[in-house]
Amino acid sequence: MLANALEAILGAVFADGGLDAAENVFARVLAPVLAREGARQDAVEEQNPKSALQELLAELEQPPPRYVVEGCDGPPHDRRWWVECALEDPAVSFRGSGATKQEASIKAARMVLKAVKQ
């Protein structure tokens, strides 16, 4: 309902004052909100890139990413895990490393997400 109300307001402003008036209202009202939303989305992607990647792929109607644990090295008290995150279409894959499998998969997902968004 809020979207419909905003659309009606912008339409009325456009009908009464033209494109410049509507752009002015948009810039004053919506631009700050969109900027905050963009910053919030960037923070979410930084904190949880695996979920952000999966959501983006769902929007693009692509299959979810595939995570493969490639192994680990190092002594038991100081392991280094390697995880690959791969997409089918577009064919993109990156390998992440970390002290845990989770950390390695997050790093790999972050790189894939960055590549897909470019």
In the sheet with 66-73, reading across from the earlier edge strand, the strands are: 66-73, 80-87, 92-98
Q: Are residues 54 and 109 in the same domain?
A: yes
Helix axes 101-117, 19-47, angle to 10 degrees: 150
Q: Are residues 15 and 30 in the same domain?
A: yes
**What span, in angstroms and rounded, lies between the C-alpha atoms of 15 and 10?**
9
Please, what is the Cα angle at 69 between 67 and 70, to 5 degrees?
125
pTM (2 d.p.): 0.62
Q: Are residues 54 and 112 in the same domain?
A: yes
CATH code for position 95: 3.30.160.20
Which residue type is seen at 106?
I
Q: According to the model, what pLDDT value does residue 29 have?
A: 82
> What parts of the chain have a pLDDT lower than 70?
37-46
Q: According to the model, what pLDDT value does residue 65 have?
A: 95
Give the closest residue to 70 by CA, choosing from 107, 89, 97. Answer: 97
Please, what is the Cα angle at 38 between 67 and 44, to 5 degrees?
35
Q: Are residues 30 and 58 in the same domain?
A: no
Q: Are residues 40 and 69 in the same domain?
A: no
Nearby residues of 14 by Cβ (< 8 Å), 6 or more positions away: 21, 22
